[in-house]
Amino acid sequence: MKRKMVSVLLTAVMAASLLSACGGAGASTESAPAAAPAAEAAPAAEAAPAAEAAPAAEEAGAAAAEEATGGADVSGKTFAIVVKSAGNPYFKKAIEGFTEVIEGNGGTVVVKEPSAATVDAQITEIQSLISQGVASISVAANDENALQATLEEAMAAGIKVNCFDSKVNADSRATFCNQAGTTEVGQALIDAVLDLSGGEGQYAILSATSQATNQNAWIEAMKSIQESDSKYANLELVEVAYGDDEPQKSTDQTQALLSKYPDLKVICAPTTVGIAAAAKVLQDQKSSVKLTGLGLPSEMAEYIGNDDAHSCPYMFLWNPSDLAKLAAYTSIALVKGEITGAVGEKFTAGEMGEYELKDAGDGGSELILGPPFQFNPENIAEWKDVY
Amino acid sequence: MSDSEFILELKDVTKIFPGVKALNKVRFQLKRGEVHALMGENGAGKSTFIKVITGVHAAEEGHMYLEGKEVHFRGPKDALDAGIAAVYQHPTTYPTLSVTENIFMGHEIIRGGMIQWKEMNAKARELLDRLHANFKPSDEIGALSVAQQQMTEIAKALSTNAKIIILDEPTASLTSNESEELYKIVDQLRDEGVSIIFISHRFEDMYRLATRVTVFRDSQYIGTYDVDKITNADLIKAMVGREISDMYPKPEVNIGEEIFRIENMSRTGFFKDVSINVHAGEIVGITGLVGAGRTEVMESVCGITKPDSGRVFLEGKQLNVKKPEDSMKAGIVLLPENRSTEGLILSWGLGRNVTLPIQKKLAKGGIFNDLRKENALSKKFLEEVDTKAVTIFDPASSLSGGNQQKVVVAKALAQDNMKLVIMDEPTKGVDVGAKAEIYAIMGELAKKGFGIIMISSEMPEILGMSDRVYVMCNGRVTGCLDRSEATQERILKLSMEQGKSDRKEAVQ
Amino acid sequence: MENRSLFKKITGSREALLTFVLLVLGIFITVLNPTFFSPVNIGQIFRNNALTMIMALGMLCVMLTAGIDISITSTLAFAGMSIGMLTKYNIVNNTFLLFLIAMVIGCFCGMLNGLIISKGKVAPIICTMGFMYIWRGMAYVVGNSQFASGEDVREFAEFGKDGTIGPYIILIVCYALFFWMLKWTKFGRKIYAVGSNAEAARISGINVDNTLISVYTMMGTLAGLAGALSVSIYASAQPNMQYGREMDVIAACVIGGVSMSGGRGSVAGTFLGALIISIIAKALPLINVPSIAQNTVKGVIILFVVIFNVITQRMVDRQNLERREM
Amino acid sequence: MAGKSGRSIKAEEKLTAKKLLFTWEGALILLFIAVNIFNMSISQSYTFANVLREMPKYLAEMFMVLPMAYILVLGDIDISVGSIVCLTGTLTCYISNAGAPFPVVILGCLGTGLLCGAFNGFITTSFPELPSMITTLGSQIIFRGIAEISLGGGGSVSYTNTKQIMPLSTKLGKTVPVIILVVMLAAVIFTVVLQRTTFGRSLYAIGSNKVSAFYAGVDVKRCRFIAYVLMGFMAGMCGLFLTAYTYGANTTTGQGFEMEVIAMCVFGGIASTGGKGTLVGGIIAGLIITLLRIALGQANVNSQMILVIVGALLIIAVLIPGIKGRFDELKKLRAAA
């Protein structure tokens, strides 16, 4: 009997020690930026090099940001960022940008990286944020509608909600920081396809998952632009394949496209994982099929080039760090009451200049970061180390 | 004693298991080329003793001498290397592997880093031929009968060129003539100079084979005797510690009306056209070779398997049995052959085991378990069969084989609508003392007017307890003998004759 | 009589049955898309499914001991992420060394599984479920929100590049090694013995615990190897790599006739099972089955094959019974 | 009767507080208290109101812990439940979007779950040769596959008539979510059925020794079938409430739920080998894991790290009985010597 008691106590002690150890470790890595509003050097070390490395060398630094927004008037307030899932460098950049702006303005940051790219995981994280009573939440949603109930609850609790990268529906947000207008992305992509195909021929799209909101919107935009203008009349979209943002499946799908459509000229992959997988397949097979789409320069540097040895002449993306900075400024503006999310409102996003809330076409408002940026052999070397 | 006289000698061996002393300063001497029987009740420590010899268990105290030299086995491997091989009570075969793979498991013939399958197959063939086995080296063990599996085990022991072979209850699952085959093999081995230790509950085995017998009781050494110099009664006394006056207490019962009848029941591949009837108060024995279809017939009666055709009547009414529950509701109770796998849930308390079949009847509204009622009832029946247990919550696994069998009987008695009891090998693996008690219970049941069917391979039991004996062979009933006309010879003849004639027909 | 023996040959041997299924599948696909059996396609089938095929070997051994390991893809991700990071930050750039490191990591993970399962008497599915969470989490921790891809692993990816023979060689070596081990060595016999009847194995002097530990260690090592191979073939190390694919590996083994209760299964069967799973993944996009239906088709085929096998087994048993003379 | 020695066998079991405490459930209650103290120390937001508000998503999974306990007690396993949640959630949305009244929606959802469970039950009981792990692996892929096909290219569906399903996610008196009451009711029913009825006893009998149970007249096939049907039904329940909280479903809905649910059961002392453990343990364990995850989330511990902690706890929990067994053995050895 005594043994049992011992074992019971042992469990409790082991569990507790394990938890406190892990909890401690987790806190030190995760909330380090959050714990560093003041000038205490050690914990702030992580944020500092990030700021230095930021691509915005030509843009104004943190000091300018502070000046523009009036310094410490959001101090003591907590701003949360919820990304799609953990372990993604795109969102790592976004988190860095977000943190830079918020801390530059004296606020604290809570970072939530859900364990999986699912709605359930995001709901759990947002619920936790409501409990903590944060001032605002910026979320890159895994599903447009599924977060509605939770986000409405957050707004009812006085939390300002905006989204970036992938939107939620108009009822669940104040506003949406759009990386680029849907039409603009669609236009850029279809133009690239037209250019690379030489004006005619078959092309295919390799997308992420079948329910990825952004990709679906862009693909729709491409299709409608193609129909509306006769210069695209000789292009034929043969298939939209889904690689589920998995390297293996994307590889399978790319290879299937190649063997199914021998006359294929271009593959367009508007997703960072898919484009990298496709680029590798095409380049390894020395295929004549050309690739374009949306991709991270750091992952794609290997494949970008104008000659036959490279599979991707050029591609597009925006700066995730800038996008998150915009989301951060938007959050601050919402918290300070400068904007409410109504169409037509204007505010100054620090060094990024003035932005106006436009009609997003879904009943809500949006901010557009700017047109997608083209990465080509000339500038890729410069950007590959940035993000 | 000289080195040459004893090939194996153990002195003052003590083995302790958590909570019990399984062996207490036992000794043992095995002569070169002798067949030595080791006897004792269940729990006397025989199996533990064997495992000490084969290195499976390490003894806490004591010495072991092999050919005069002291040896210490650190594991079964050492014992095998030293030339000691064992065939355990429950065949320790690998059911998913072939006969060859089984025979050579652990001592494969390896040359150049490769297992020599061809050579091993040939050697296995040779060994099987030597044992007159009727199966192939490529057969999968799981598909063979228990007897055939046992033969494989013996082939395995032979393949190691063992000097000492230990047979732990090899005849427990064999029928008389299968046993006879085994005897021949043992004789042959002895003539080849192999020393054999033989554990058995059956006296016939001992008389037929052994020259000397050692008796253990309660983990202690009692004595070693020359087989031809000790009487049956003395041996029982040595084993049990007391005298058993009447082994088969068959009461005089007025046999009543017919209560149970099977008509022309068949199941493809197992039995054909079986008709059996039982009267109230009658003990009907069913015997035959293992695999003759005895158990299978009764399983079909009880709804465990589905017969292809045939009818079953209980008290004149035809039964429609689809699952075991149906037969139980009608009043037929089966005591299955394997207590541990079919009769009991070993991890459960005794009480729960007893009331499992009738839990619905006891439950409030047929749904909610009535623990108080259950406990009272199981206490009553467990005491009635005199189970050696402290509480009804003791797990069934903590009891000896005989007591487990009593629990199975209590479980049957608790079914108050019982009319017919089917006991499948009720004394298999049960020691002498408990055997007598089980026979006594059987007699009591007959007195109360129940019909009893007893499936058994043990000739004395069949002859001692049955009012009538059905003999089955190869799926058919080959004869029905009255108590007065049943003799060992007639039964043996019936259990083999039919098979032979059938085989001839098949050839033609 | 002839017919019966042919029937028995097909139904009696799992491998023959699978070859038959494979043939039917192959013909079906070729009719719908004649380009399917091109050398390029066949090469890709093996290359893209090398991971599943390699891990199926380890799973075969684990399942032979009546165990299961659902932590393998987490181990794969942990090992893959670790070497991805090592080469990304130019700490280690030697391809061979990276493979070795991945295998050592996998070996360690597997050994932990083995120790807990054998010494701690924990059910394999539960133990490996715990580690499934742990190693996956560690993959994220190691990665610290970075992928290793493209340029980061350029040198390392040379090994698994399309057109190189590296992955094929690893595949062939692994299969040859395991075939030899399970069929011709003592250790292979021990694995079968432990799975078929652990108690008997113990009594006949086989160290059951050590066998279990080695089996799970082998599984882990193979998962580590697969992790390195994955990084090399796809030029990408992501913490969520191969998420959920452990079920494909298990399915491959089960289709290949490996029994979950242990002691039954062969390298040839496992290979055929893995091949069937691979061909399904490869062929569905080619024969214009929409990719959203791929899972359903895969599930139906898994259930069909295992149920088909049960039914043929029942038929064989029935036939054997009917042939018994009464 | 024969051989009466007049030996008496005790039929009373003394239940002392001490004995209760030394069961696995007792240990879990202690751990529950310890975890709560720990939680309060790491998170200031760990208040009753907040916990109550964060619970529902986890509670939806708790629906499945209940029947999963049945399945595990049987010695089976069902890894298709996450996919059933996905399929039922998807169909619920489609049924409602087609304009069906709310009762029809609920019936459709639970009915789908029931059918999925019946499919599993049918396959597993018709082919007892196949381990349930394999059959449910097949149906896991198929159920999610069907959901994927019905979701089509978009991969997700919204519950457009959100007002209709709102009652399921409301809070009584603005604090107590409806789901808590439903879970509590279900927990009581499932616990009573498992621990106090003949059906529950039959499940334990089958899990402890299938053959003996069959010989003793337990209808093995029926019991297993019912357990799978209940599993499917409760997975449908989970799907229904999850839909009420997410206003929709997509292809990833319910992903990984099966393992989380099994982990809760096993942590609660319900062995995957069958015949062991109680639902009380499963429920407490489920609560412990849930509360721990909530508090760690509030303390902003990395979400992957939380999974590592849960995994480690699970392994420690299943190791303890083995370690304890070794200790007991040693003690007995010493006593005997």
Q: Does a structural domain hold residue D93? A: yes
Asked if residue D195 belongs to a domain, the reply is yes
Any idea which of A109-118, A122-131, C11-20, D28-37 has the lowest mean pLDDT? C11-20
Q: How far is A93 from chain C (nearest CA, A)?
A: 9
Average pLDDT score over residue span B270-298? 88
Q: Does the residue D143 lie in any domain?
A: yes
| Rounded-to-integer distance, Cα C128 and Cα C75, Å | 10
What confidence score (pLDDT) does residue A44 get? 37
Do the domain assignments include residue D250?
A: yes
Query: Would you say residue A211 has pLDDT above 80?
Result: no
What is the ipTM, given to two decimal places?
0.84
CB–CB of B345 and D337 under 8 A? no
Task: Using the predicted structure, report yes or no on whether residue A22 has a pLDDT greater than 60.
Answer: no
- Statement: residue A55 has pLDDT above 50: no
Kindly determine whether residue C143 and residue A259, on different chains, have CB atoms separated by under 8 Å.
Answer: no
CB contacts under 8 A, D 165-184 vs A, are 169
- Residue D96 is encoded by which pair of tokens? 């409602």
* Contact residues on chain A for D170, CB-CB shorter than 8 A: none
> Residue C92's pLDDT band (boundaries 50, 70, 90)?
confident
In percent, the amount of chain A with pLDDT more than 70 equals 81
CB contact under 8 A, C48 and A285: no
- Residues above pLDDT 90, as percent of chain C: 40
Strands A160-164 and A175-178: parallel
What count of CB pairs under 8 Å joins B to D?
127
Which chain A residues contact residue D154 at CB under 8 A? 210-211, 216
Q: For D149-171, what is the mean pLDDT?
A: 83
CATH value of C16-28+36-320 in 3.10.450, 1.10.40, 1.10.3470, 1.10.10: 1.10.3470
Put simply, whether D246 touches A (Cβ < 8 Å) is yes
Q: Tell whether D202 is covered by a domain.
A: yes
> What pLDDT sits at residue B249?
75
Confidence of residue C148 (pLDDT cuts 50, 70, 90): confident
d(C-alpha A154, C-alpha A157), whole Å = 5
Say if the Cβ atoms of B115 and C200 lie within 8 Å.
no
Most confident of A342-346, B207-211, C88-92, C228-232: C228-232
- The percent of chain D in helix, strand and coil, each rounded to the nearest 5, is 75, 5, 20
Kindly determine whether residue B386 and residue D4, on different chains, have CB atoms separated by under 8 Å: yes
Three-point CA angle C49, C55, C59, nearest 5°? 135
Asked if D11 and B378 come within 8 Å (Cβ–Cβ), the reply is yes
Token pair 């240990």 in the structure block, residue: D27
**Chain A residues 247-286 with a CB less than 8 Å from chain C:** 247-248, 251-253, 255-257, 259-260, 273, 276-277, 279-281, 284-285
D137·C251 Cβ contact <8 A: yes
pLDDT at C284 over 50: yes
CB A185 within 8 A of CB A221: yes
Q: How many C-beta neighbours within 10 Å does residue C196 have?
A: 27
Identity of the residue in D138, D272, D311 whose CB atom sits nearest the CB atom of C134: D311
Q: Is residue D308 part of a domain?
A: no
Residue D226 has pLDDT above 70, yes or no: yes
Q: Which residue of B has its CA nearest to D194?
A: B368
Lowest mean pLDDT among A207-216, B357-366, C226-235: A207-216
pTM score, whole prediction: 0.87
What subunits make at least 3 CB pairs under 8 angstroms with D? A, B, C
**Mean pLDDT computed over every residue of chain C:** 86
> Which chain C residue is nearest to residue A275, measuring alpha carbons?
C150
Selected residue of C233, C238, C241 to mutate for chain A interface (largest A Cβ count, 10 A) = C238
Instruction: Write out pLDDT tens, residues D84-118.
Output: 999 999 999 999 999 889 999 999 999 999 999 99
Asked whether residue D33 is assigned to any structural domain, the reply reads no
Q: Is D15 on the interface with B (CB under 8 A)?
A: no
Contact B102, B156 (CB under 8 A): yes
Alpha carbons A193 and A359: distance in angstroms, whole number: 29
Confidence of residue A53 (pLDDT cuts 50, 70, 90): very low
pLDDT for A70 equals 44
For chain D, say whether A54 makes contact (Cβ under 8 Å): no
C205 contacts in B (CB within 8 Å)? 55, 75-80, 106
Structural domains of chain A ordered from first start: 41-179+320-370 (3.40.50.2300), 182-317 (3.40.50.2300)
The reply to whether residue C162 touches residue A284, judged by beta carbons under 8 angstroms, is: yes
| Distance to chain D for A307, nearest Cα, Å | 35
Secondary structure of B40-103 in HEC code, one letter for each residue? CCCCCCHHHHHHHHCCCCCCCEEEEEECCEECCCCCHHHHHHCCEEEECCCCCCCCCCEHHHHH
What confidence score (pLDDT) does residue B354 get? 92
pLDDT at B42: 67
Q: Which residue has the higher pLDDT, C149 or D208?
A: D208
B347-383 pLDDT, tens digit each? 898 999 999 999 888 888 888 988 888 889 999 999 8
> How many contacts does A have with D, using Cβ atoms within 8 A?
190
Name the least confident of C269-273, D19-23, D317-321. Answer: D19-23
Across-strand partners of C70? none
Query: Is B268 within 8 Å of C202 when comparing Cβ atoms?
Result: no
Complete DSSP assignment for D213-227? HHHTT--HHHHHHHH
Q: Which of A94-108, B18-32, D320-334 has the lowest mean pLDDT?
A: D320-334
Given this model, what pLDDT does residue A205 score?
92
CB-based contact D305 A26, cutoff 8 Å = yes
Strands annotated E in B218-270: 220-226, 258-267
Rg (CA), chain B: 24
pLDDT at A63: 41
Q: Is the pLDDT of residue C159 over 60?
A: yes
Give the total number of structural domains in chain D. Answer: 1
Interface contact A231, partner C, CB < 8 A: no
Average pLDDT, chain B: 85
Percent of residues, chain B, with pLDDT higher than 90:
22
Q: How far apart are CA A55 and CA A34, in angstroms?
A: 22
Chain D residues inside the 8 Å CB shell of B414 = none
C-beta of residue A274 within 8 angstroms of C-beta of residue A299: no
| Optimal mutation site among D247, D260, D320, interface A, most CBs of chain A within 10 A | D247
Give the chain B residue nearest D199 (alpha carbons). B367
Q: Quote the domain boundaries for residue D172.
A: 51-255
Residue D63 has pLDDT above 90, yes or no: yes
Which structure tokens are listed for B349?
């308390």
**Structural domains of chain B, ranges and CATH numbers in brackets:** 6-240 (3.40.50.300), 256-331+417-508 (3.40.50.300), 343-416 (no CATH)
Tell me the average pLDDT of chain D: 89
Give residue-wise pLDDT tens across range A309-322.
888 888 998 888 88
- Residue D148 is assigned to a structural domain of this protein: yes
pLDDT band of residue A125 (cuts 50, 70, 90) is very high
CA-nearest residue of chain A to D294? A128
Least confident among A23-32, A120-129, B154-163, D221-230: A23-32
What is the Cα–Cα distance from B240 to D146, expressed in whole angstroms? Answer: 68
Query: Could you tell me if D127 lies within 8 Å of chain A, comparing CB atoms?
Result: no
- Whether chain A lies against chain D with 3 or more Cβ pairs closer than 8 A is yes
Chain A residues whose beta carbon lies within 8 Å of the beta carbon of residue C295: none
Contact C263 B503 (CB under 8 A): no
Question: B284 — phi, psi (to 5°)?
Answer: -105, 120
A247 to A203, A243, A279, B155, C199: CA distances (angstroms)? 21, 8, 11, 55, 44
Residue A331's pLDDT is 92
Q: How far apart are alpha carbons B343 and B407 in whole angstroms? A: 9
Within 8 A by CB and 6+ apart from C289, the residues are C297
Under the banding of pLDDT at 50, 70 and 90, the label for residue A4 is: very low
